[in-house]
Amino acid sequence: MSTPGAYFRLVRIGWVLAREDAFAAVPSEHLPPLARFVQRLAGLLARRKARFEVRSGRLARAVERLGPSYVKIGQFLATRPDVVGAELAADLSLLQDRMATFPESEARAAIEGSLGRSVDALFVEFSEAMAAASIAQVHPAVILRDGRRERVAVKVIRPGVRQRFAADIEAMYLVSRMQERFLPYTRRLRPVEVTKTLEQTTKVEMDLRLEAAALSELGENTREDSGFRVPKVDWERTGRDVVTMEWIDGVKMSDIEGLRAAGHDLNTLAEALIQSFLRHTLRDGFFHADMHQGNLFVDGAGHIVAVDMGIVGRLGKKERRFLAEILYGFITRDYQRVADVHFEAGYVPSHHDAASFAQAIRAIGEPIHGQPAETISMAKLLTLLFEVTELFDMQTRPELVMLQKTMVVVEGVARTLNPRFNMWKASEPVVGKWIRDNLGPKRIVSDLRDGLHAALRVAEAAPEIAARTERFSAEIMAMAENGLRFDPETAEAIGKAEARHTRSGRVALWVIAAVLIYIAWQLA
């Protein structure tokens, strides 16, 4: 249940968005009449200056005004164009995760509280923060290792950010529940489930031990790869509120002139970036889901170094096979196969006609084959595919949407390095190898091996399954004879929940009324 505080925060969100004229960025064609009326009313509350500012970016500016928690929420929603729409996702993608630094004394206290040792005992030198984001900030430092001085980067959690986010996510849950109730056509997108994903993702990002583990896992996966690596983690100086890692000396990928001056081949870098991302996705099923230019460096040896692994994505074998078969189907113009893959995976309900779905897929694929290879975008192809699947009731697949969004960013970085970069030619060695290894004869052997493992697990669990079945059968028989009954504790809990629901509803109405009176008084 939502507390009165959630309603207050919701009203504050609405007020800030209205003042920045951010509601004007919301497409109104699918809104019900009442929502369109509220949208027009919100336009009257906008600052005069905001009405004349560039429309794109209004929402991002409003979110930045709301504070660090909302910046993180906005960045997450920018990865979900299926939920907020392509225009709003593009607007939110302009959010700059650059915040004011917090005092060094607070960073020292966080490190000492997390690691149980003084900063002076852990580091030979510990300097002022060089960069700060919504969740953490980074300090340069020096440690002694085997008698030698070694530079490291120390990432420290922002004080109080967990408590602020816990309060703000409650308002987000309130919004998602209202969205499901008043905008029925959005239920397919499962907004409450999306909010749960946001909560879980951000909780993971706020435990820096998990970011360290992600760096370690990707480091192991790419140990034998050429052209890509991640910083090494110093586990001795890593805890829930702090992660210490190798210092990266290199050129940011956003500095094109700097890359040229350092003698790096931009086309080679673009090729290495795309191939590395696809290798992580298809081979490992684990990828860096925030690979924008600010998180990518090129070291002196010409290797791409990815940092800031707070957001990662995972794909199971089923999703990887789905992705590879879709790409292969579009390349070979086998649209019926692409359609069949959707039905086999259970992504499109079986009551739809496969031939009609294949026709819709053809409408995406044929225009692509008429374009030069260097202008074809895999990310755009997947975007169009997800738009078409909406017509056939395909349920939102968060892992596939995150993949598509990351692909948009990675392709954007590659095309910044080389505007005429041929994405398909660069991708073929990785995608082709995966298809040959996993969609040919080797797939049969792999499936048989997985099937045998599954059968062994079922055989091991057979005694327990039999015992549970017997108990369940006995309980069913008892209910059939005596009827379904609630114990006193269950009945009391239901009564309390109903009373709490009624009381919360009354409180919420009074809170909203009070806030509206206050706003009207302010505007008078």
Q: Which residues are catalytic, by number?
A: 290
Q: HEC profile for 378-410?
A: HHHHHHHHHHHHHCCCCCCCHHHHHHHHHHHHH
The DSSP code sequence of 76-127 is HHHT-HHHH-HHHHHHHTT-----PPPPHHHHHHHHHHHHSS-HHHH-SEEP
Neighbours of 277 (CB within 10 A): 26
Edge to edge, what strands does the sheet with 304-306 contain?
Answer: 228-229, 304-306, 296-299, 250-252
In a 3-state reduction of DSSP, which class is residue 130?
coil
Neighbours of 192 (CB within 10 A): 16
Name residue 368's amino acid: I
Question: How far apart, in whole angstroms, are the C-alpha atoms of residue 445 and residue 460?
Answer: 23
> Tokens for 77?
């929603």
In a 3-state reduction of DSSP, which class is residue 20?
coil
Among residues 336, 397, 333, 297, the alpha carbon closest in space to that of 83 is found at 397
Four-residue CA torsion sign, 386, 201, 406, 338: negative
What are the start-end ranges of the E strands in 209-249?
228-229, 233-239, 242-246
Question: How far apart, in whole angstroms, are the C-alpha atoms of residue 30 and residue 395?
Answer: 19
Question: How far apart, in whole angstroms, are the C-alpha atoms of residue 394 and residue 338?
Answer: 14
Structural contact between residues 65 and 20, judged by C-beta atoms closer than 8 angstroms: yes
Neighbours of 308 (CB within 10 A): 21
Buried b (16+ CB within 10 A) or exposed e, 114-153: bbeeebeebbeebeebeebbbbbbbbbbebeeeeeeeebb
Question: How far apart, in whole angstroms, are the C-alpha atoms of residue 227 and residue 209?
Answer: 26
Residues 6+ apart with CB under 8 A from 196: none
Among residues 292, 364, 304, 310, the alpha carbon closest in space to that of 333 is found at 364
> Tokens for 503?
């009381």
Question: How far apart, in whole angstroms, are the C-alpha atoms of residue 165 and residue 412?
Answer: 31
Structural contact between residues 522 and 19, judged by C-beta atoms closer than 8 angstroms: no
Residues 6+ apart with CB under 8 A from 132: 98, 99, 100, 101, 102, 138, 158
The DSSP bridge partners found for residue 233 are 245
